[in-house]
Structures are given as C-alpha cells and as structure tokens.
A and B are shown apart, each in its own frame.
Chain A
Amino acid sequence: MDKKIYGLLAEFDTPTQLVEAAQKVREAGFTRTDAFSPFPIHEMDRALGIKRSILPYLVFAGGVAGLLTGLALQYYVHVIDYPIIVGGRPFLSLPSFIPPMFELTILFASFAAVFGMLLLNGLPQPYHPVFNVPRFALATREKFFLLIETVDPKFNYDETRSFMQSLNAQEVFDVDE
C-alpha cells in the first residue's frame, strides 16, 4: 500500500441500511467514524454513539459571563470612574443596572452559541478528504455514506474493508488523503 488513504467510505441505498451498518460498526468497537445523509436521521446519534454536545454548557457560561460583565461595567462607570447623582439615587442602583446586564447576558450567550458551535464542529472547513470520492456528491441527493478513518485504533485496511463490505454496502471506496 503506497498511497496514503484517509479512510474507507461505504455507500448505502437507504437510511435504514445506514443506521443498521452504523450500529454494527459501533458494536465492532470503531470510534473514529462519521455518517453522511441528505437529511437528518433521528436514530443516527444513538447508532453511532455520538455523545450530547457540550454546547449548552458553553452557552450558559457565556450568559453568566455577560451578566457579570454588565454588572462590572456599570459598577466601574457609575461608582468608581464617574459617580454622578441622578434623581437622588445611590451610585450603586441595581434596578437600573438590570436591563444592560440582561442585554449583555443575551449577547454573550449568543456569541458563545455561534462561536462555540463553530469551534466544536470545526467549520469552516475548506478541505475534507471525503470529497475525493466522486460519488460522495450524491450524499446531498439520494445516497447514504458511512466513513471509518484510518486513525481509528481498530483500523486494519484489509479486515476493515471486508467488514464494511459485509454490511450490505453498495460499494466501499478508498478515501485518498
């Protein structure tokens, strides 16, 4: 084997076949896997053993950070840097601080959601080896694909290839690096 490959890609005709194959691949102990389908398949997460995203916790942390930033900003401005008496209120008047604190909570939580999402899913990604397989273009139309990467600790070219063929795959492709 002289040319370097990224992994093996199996093509399926139906979502049911894909889910069944994904289940068997996970049961065989593969972890560096991925599935491609023209539409979301609800059972896929469990079939491939994909864990729940940590994104909600990032968003929560972002929200808390925004809340504290809003408080700190106003405290610095109104109490430390430039205290002015407005309407006879104390410098530290929490009720009037709450709307900006709320706004910054939303802003920071939104930032955490957008940038956390990009960080976790690795987008934008200008190059991915699976596109080296010409038939992979059908993943956006009518075909279903399952990928096992060579970096998987259980990966062995000949064994994995025959294993994937045994999963009712239409065809198994080498994915060039």
Chain B
Amino acid sequence: MINNRFDASDFRAPEQIGRWRTLALGIGGILSAVMLIMMLLFPEQRENALRAWLLGFIFWCGIGVGGLGILILQYLTGGAWGVVIRRVVEACSRTIPILAILFLPIIFGVRNIYEWTRLAQTGEDVIINHRQPYLSVEWWIIRAIAYFILWGLMAYFLNSWSRRQDEATTYDEAAKPLADAGKFSGPTLVFFILVVTFASIDWVMTLDPHWFSTIWGFLFVAGWGLSCFSFSVVILAFLSDKAPMNRILGKRHFHDIGKLMLALTMVWAYFNFSQFLIIWSGNLPEETVWYLSRMHGTWGIIGILLILFHFAFPFLVLLSRDIKRDAKWLALLAVFILVMRLVDMFYLIGPNPRIGQHGHEVPFYFTWMDIVAPFAVGGIWLWWFLGELMKRPLVPINDPYLENAIKHGHEH
C-alpha cells in the first residue's frame, strides 16, 4: 500500500452510471438503426443520411480523440487538474475501438458522400487527376485504418502504464509508470497532432474536392480539445456532488479546467480567424470559394452565430472567476459550448458541394437526420465510454501527486 487513505474499492463510479449506460445504448441503438435504414433503403436520402452521420461522428470523435490529446498533454504539463481529469480522459481515449466501428458507414458510403471519388472515376477534373496519388478510395481507406491504429496504440500504451500504477505496491513502482508515460508523451504529442491533421483533412476538408487550407488540422486540434474539456467538465460536475468524488473535487479544480476552456475558446477563434484573414486578404478565387458559400444566406447567419456564441459569449462568461469556480454553472456553459461545437461541425460539413454538384453553390439545407445522427452516434459512444469509466477507480489512487492535487482543489 502506498497511500493508506486511497483504496481502489472506495473509488468506484456511482451506481447511477450503470442505468445511464443502458439508457444511452437504448437511444443510440434505436436511432442508429433508423439511420442505417435511411442509408440502406432510401437511396435518394443516402447522401443526407451519410452527411448527418459524418456530422455526429466527427463531433463524438472529437471528444474521444480529444481525450487522448488531453491525456498526452497532462502527462507533459503535470498539475492538479491533470490528476483529477485523468480517469475521464483515459476513458475517452479507450473509446477509439468503438469510434472505428462507428466510422464504418462512412467507409462503406465513401462514394456517396465525397465528390472527389466521382471526379476520380470520371477523370474529368484536372486537379483531381493531379491529386490521384493521394486521393484514391483505396488509399483513403488504408489511411483511415492507420489513423485508428495509431490513436489506438497511443491510448493502449498510456492506459497500460496507468494500470501498472494502479497495481503498484511501493512508491517506486507507482512513480515509474508516471515517468514512462511522461517520456512517451513528448514525441507522441507531435505524432498525435499530425494524425489529427491528416484525419481532419481526409474526412472533412476533402468534402470540397478542390479547396485546401494549411491551418485546417489546428482548427480540429483546438476544437476537439475544447470539446473534450467541456465534456469532461460535465462528467466531473455530475460526479462532484456524489460519493466518492465529492471528497476529491474542489472549486479550484473547476477553476483550473475553466481557465483551459477559456484558452481553447480563444485558440479556436484565433485559428479560424487566421484562416479567414489570409484567404480574405489574398482574395484568390481558388480559396475564397469556400467562404463565399459560407458567408451568404442562412449559412452566413450560422457563421455570425458561431462568432457570437462559439467565441464571444463563452469568452466573456469564462472571464468570470465565480462562474469558473462553480461546478454547476461551468457545466451549464460546457453544454452550451458542446452544442456550438456541433453547429461548428455543421457549418464545416453542410455547405460542401453534393455528389455531381461540384461548382454549384449549396442552398441551405437541414434535415431531421442532422439532429438524430449525433444522438445515434452519441448514444453508442456514451454507452462504451461510461462502461470504460466504470472499469477503473475514478482517481489514479497510487499517483504520487494525488494528495497534493486534492489539497490544491480546496485552496482559496
């Protein structure tokens, strides 16, 4: 025993989570069945259904993969927030397998959602012909599999060190895995960001066959990080007034995570504005076309809403110290940010040209499936996530920094 005060059996997840899990699977299973029926049996709805599924998938993938990123980050930076958030983001990182399964509809429907697959077949487009070595369906699928394997390996190593720490019986045995995870995390963060960059380009940017942006990957690194911090705040706020986490979590933990949410809200806006300013100043037709279709009509209104409610409103609210320190208010704001994350994904995915429609503006559309799909993917993802969360103690019980981290949370 290293810390007599911390015993694994005292830190099991509260029992309600088991019921939430069943509910999530029920909702997710039924809605996913509805989505699959729309994809398979209604060919004229297939493209809309796949776009909605991609919307839901990218949103939840952002929380799962974002969790892996935060897990890597907190091993590098240290700090009390990393100790209390670790088990939540670890559970997120262990959802990579279910994310790979949830991605299957996109792989099977790749020809029904990405216009470049059609252009590659007909050979009518000079630019797509030139990009053939990269943009071919087989190679795209191989890359997607590689992304999941790479993320999965990163998550596997970090989680196995963490398990070894839980099983440690001496101080040295508990400190060693932490040091190993720290060493692993440095170079891994670089690879992680590269994999996110490639995945976001393959899965979202190529929806527009010609357009490109070099800051694209960072939009997703920042956005997915913000998604997972917001999601973790909701989970931690839910746990904070129940045994066993009410003994652990203090106001200052939420204060610290709130500060990180504020930082990522600003980083998200910074990267988006950087992309916009360069394209707007350069004023070259091959680049401006992406914003042209997003700055007019209803798409333009959504863009304004994103500036106001994905950036300005959360930014101003998160400046307040009292709100960051109050778990309930911070969680409420986190839910709001998550909704805006979904709107942001819709804004990136929606206005892209449909199959056979390259070069035409996409009139605004919104179907019931754009609401249903995020719940369908989310239900199944949450079922898996909550199961993973229940598997291990809610805090790293043998971590040498745990006692300090708990004390930190209750300081003024």
Output the least CB separation between B303 and chain A (Å).
13
Contacts of A88 in B (CB 8 A): 283
Contact B277 A87 (CB under 8 A): no
Q: How far is the CA of A80 from the CA of B285 in the complex (A)?
A: 30
Contact B412 A96 (CB under 8 A): no
Contacts of A60 in B (CB 8 A): 319
Q: How far is the CA of A83 from the CA of B48 in the complex (A)?
A: 48
CB within 8 Å for A87 and B283 given contacts A42-B412, A46-B412, A56-B321? yes
Q: Which single member of B277, B321, B411 contacts A96 (CB below 8 Å)?
A: B277
Using CB atoms, name the residue of chain A closest to B274.
Answer: A99
Using CB atoms, name the residue of chain A closest to B282.
Answer: A87
Q: How far is the CA of A56 from the CA of B280 in the complex (A)?
A: 35
Within 8 A of B (CB), among A82-98: 87-88, 95-96, 98
Number of A-B residue pairs having CB atoms within 8 Å of each other in the complex: 20
A45 within 8 A of B: yes
Contact B277 A99 (CB under 8 A): yes
Interface string of B53-80 (1 = CB under 8 A from A): 0000000000000000000000000000
Q: How far is the CA of A132 from the CA of B273 in the complex (A)?
A: 58
B281 within 8 A of A: yes
Interface string of A87-120 (1 = CB under 8 A from B): 1100000011011000000000000000000000
Q: How far is the CA of A140 from the CA of B319 in the complex (A)?
A: 35
B347 within 8 A of A: no
Contacts of B277 in A (CB 8 A): 95-96, 98-99
Q: How far is the CA of A60 from the CA of B411 in the complex (A)?
A: 25
Q: How far is the CA of A60 from the CA of B412 in the complex (A)?
A: 22
Contact A87 B281 (CB under 8 A): yes
Using CB atoms, name the residue of chain A closest to B281.
Answer: A96
B309 within 8 A of A: no
Q: Which single member of B280, B281, B321, B412 contacts A45 (CB below 8 Å)?
A: B412
Contacts of B156 in A (CB 8 A): none
Contacts of B412 in A (CB 8 A): 42-43, 45-46
CB within 8 Å for A95 and B283 given contacts A56-B321, A60-B319? no
B216 within 8 A of A: no
Q: How far is the CA of A56 from the CA of B281 in the complex (A)?
A: 35
B276 within 8 A of A: yes
Contact A42 B411 (CB under 8 A): yes
Q: How far is the CA of A99 from the CA of B280 in the complex (A)?
A: 14
Q: How far is the CA of A88 from the CA of B280 in the complex (A)?
A: 12
Output the least CB separation between A50 and chain B (Å).
11
Contacts of B411 in A (CB 8 A): 42
Interface string of B259-303 (1 = CB under 8 A from A): 000000000000001001100110100000000000000000000
Q: Spell out A's residues near B (CB within 8 Å).
A: 42-43, 45-46, 56, 60, 87-88, 95-96, 98-99
Extra contacts besides A43-B412, A95-B276, A95-B280 (14): CB < 8 Å: A42-B411, A46-B412, A60-B319, A87-B281, A87-B283, A88-B283, A95-B277, A95-B281, A96-B277, A96-B280, A96-B281, A98-B273, A98-B277, A99-B277
- Write 20 A-B pairs (CB below 8 A) sorted by A numbering: A42-B411, A42-B412, A43-B412, A45-B412, A46-B412, A56-B321, A60-B319, A87-B281, A87-B283, A88-B283, A95-B276, A95-B277, A95-B280, A95-B281, A96-B277, A96-B280, A96-B281, A98-B273, A98-B277, A99-B277
Q: Spell out B's residues near A (CB within 8 Å).
A: 273, 276-277, 280-281, 283, 319, 321, 411-412
